[in-house]
Structure 1
Amino acid sequence: MKKGHKKSIIALLTGILVFVTGSLILLYFAGQKLAATISEDATHLVKHIDTALQERRRILTPLNNLGFKQCDQATLLEMRRALFDAKYVIDIGFFKNDQLVCTTGAGLLDKVINDKSPDYIIVDENIRVRFEPQLYLLLFSDRPMEVIIVRQGDYNLIIDTKVFNDDVISSPMWEVVYKHKRSINHLAGQSGVYDTLVNNVYLPYERRLICSEQNSNYCVALHMPWNKFFAKNHFLLIISLILTCLAGVSSALLVDNLIADRRSTFNRIRLGLNKNSFYWTYQPIICLQTGTVIGCEVLARFKDKYGTLYPDQFIPLLRKNNLTWKFTEAMIAKVLKELTAIDILPEGFKVSLNIFPCDVEQGNVSSLTQVSELTNSRFIICLEITEDEYLDTSIAHAHFRTLVKSGFNLSLDDFGTGYSNLKNLQNLSFHQLKIDRTFVQDIATEGLKASMIPNIMELVKKFNYTCVAEGIETSEQEAILKTAGVHYGQGWKYGRPMKVNKFHEYMAKQSV
């Protein structure tokens, strides 16, 4: 799988995960809201039940205690007084010999009405209760009413069930019941809801069964399906889903940017300095006259879990972000450890290390004189520094002199390609010039750069430098350079840059 695709998949999965997590959180809070709504409805209904029962006791018990034996004006007056402050009761009737003889609304009846059998009886209070889905009161004979008829002694109460549903209840399905032994008696709401909720399985939060704490036989059952809840709160749901989608998309973009940043060349370099992603290779330097290996140049390479970076990618960023000296310190520590362990490398073996010109100007190179592993090494440490305007200062010259006094060799790298100020060459305290590979590669075509090699060699002789030509790949190039008086050569003809174990093997073959 390509790395770009892998990064996109990770970002996509992160966005999906955030969206799913957000949706689950949204669902959880929706469930809490749904449960709270049903709970509020249940509490509201139970409160109605308890208040209605208190009202029933407050009316029926005192009326029966009055001891009236027939319905006359005094009886009707007391009945109407009891009804005046009632909230649930809409009519009160008086019975004689189980026959209704008068009501508060109609007064004395022209024709008595026989009482019907109750749905259930509360024995300890001698209460008879009956649910009437369609009752026609004498005053409203054209309007059927759903009522609860409660009789105690000589009186009954007519309770309108609409008072329970006073537009506060949100649940679309609810029922108030009285549990008597094994029977369930409907009192208000939608008949059958209680049995349905008890005998079936529902999703979490969408149903509630609760009984009154004061009157445990009275219970309520409520059901609000999820789809009804979402339909009722659709606007809030849409806004929440949009926000969740935006969170998912934002998270995906953020992760994509973080991954991109983590995989950016600069970040890889920065982390690589601490995680040993840099490693060093060694390319042999040959004496052109004898063909023997007199030293090696240390060349940096980089590889991490994201792949390989080449010097032209990481070197400019090291310079731009002031990481050059940290890089150089890491190089020196690792190279000395690796090369010192190779016993077959002779005393005076030249090890060329590339130094950034900015570290010369900033004085960082002066700290090398305090590194005993360098100053006491059996190797000749040659510091290769590319031509740069930083070198053409009195500060740089002072640092060069300090390095030379401490035993370091100095080499002017890539001579002729950078910032050239030939009149100051004699002041740089250098030991060696290094001819850039572009001059060597131009030899075969007899180009302009190749024609400059004799002029460079005149400077080498004038300032008593040694000279190294890099990029030698053919015997023809080697022969021309040898004839021109170049002392040392470096290039694929003699060996490519190799890791320390391969370099060890290479040197072992050279010593045979």
Structure 2
Amino acid sequence: MIKRLSLISASVALGCIATILPVLTSIYVADEDAERREQDDLQQLAAKAVIRTELVTYQAFAAIADMEAVPGGPCSPGYIAQLARVIFNYRYVQDAGAYGGGQYLCSPLMGDVRAQHLTMPPPSWRSNDGYLVWFRQKNPLSDVRQDIQIGRNGNYVSIDPQSYVDLIDLARRPIAAINVETNTILALSSGADGNDMLNAWKLAGHVNSEQWYYAVARSATRPLGVVVKSPRSSLLGNWTGVLVMWLSVGVIVGGLLGWLAFRQISRQLSFPATLEWAISRRRIDVYFQPIVSLTNGECVGVEALVRWNLNGRYISPEIFVAVAEQNRLIQPLTDLVLDKTIDELSKLLRSRPSFYVSINVSSEDLRTHRFLNVLTARLGGTGIRPAQIRIEATERSFMDADATRETIAAFRNAGHPIYIDDFGTGYSSLSYLQTFTVDVLKIDKSFIDTIAQDAASSVVAPHIIEMAHELGVEIVAEGVERDVQVEYLVQRGVQYGQGWLFAKAMRVNELILWLSESRSTLQPTN
């Protein structure tokens, strides 16, 4: 009897151990995964904060350039009236004026103050390109307010420091903007401690803290950096309670969880195999979404979009493309899209030499000539011009600049224009355009959605458009769904649009019918 009880006790103990160990292991793994996700999310916030600092600084520089172009002498009524326009045109500029001889001369807010002899202290820092910066300059109109002032050639602008850290963040995580050459805090969001954030910057975010995560990011174009932090959270804070709970649940719950986990893991493991099977059997479809000229509504080309119908259920491209990238299937998938695109559009492309199709290419194929060689061989003997096959790459594909720069140049030398897809959502928006030669920017739908709306991100679209014009590249606006967006884009010189307002993605036979109907509506009437 005692032996039997011992055997039962041992079985129960082993069952409990078999139940608890996987659970605690899973909790530990989940805790590690949650920590990684929090750190990734924090790094994304830091990248967005850097873009904000670049944008605010860009506005200050643009405002000063406009001031330098104002005719006539400083402080005349006409001069001050023109400076008032500058303040109105630039969202982050609070005041604009003239200075000289270590004194304020005039501004729209102060008026002509030359007779008051309001002194300006020496600048806090001078940039290599001739800009003077006062980090914490007391505003003559206030006893308490301190602005960031940026000046050059006798013209200055005042910027509210909070503009550098004014991001939409529901978690309200502390943010600091820093001049990296002087290690000076430019701005702090609410709840941020200057000494703490500056120390985190000097340690590159590697702060030994049990309460906070830190992340840093640096601008590639200006001596600006940001530090952000968020509170740590842990799934293992109450590990004793978790242990007691699972001891009481026992082997039955462990078996049930094991069965559910087995089903889930089996489903996940089989998905890449199913995708590989679909690619090898050419069961992946290609749809085409028109790209139209915003000025006359004519369709100039299409984007090839991949679609997958698995047993009557459409799988989101965001899901299976990510699986393809993680399981070394993205190159066979891209090759299949190319094959089907040429097979289905070759007649249309030959009949309309100015018509084109753009194909999305992964970052993996931007590091070597593999896909370029496949594309060149596939076009041989088809009569399709290289310029009719255009290459789309997302911003993150450009992050490894050294590996991709030569491949991008090779595509363009072969006659294939390069598009940057989803522009504005990556980390290097304002920097890599200086090191890469591209042909077209595609503004991400998230920014087009904010047009004519009072949203914090609505300021991004006009600056991307202005940047593209300065670089001499064409623009495609993605996700156009309303006429008011078209009017806004046309007024700002955006050439092309893509979205449901014009047409959804469609099969090739539907595309040809749609093109025929669209061309008939564009024909002049007698």
TM-score with structure 1 setting the length: 0.47
Larger radius of gyration: 1
TM-score with structure 2 setting the length: 0.46
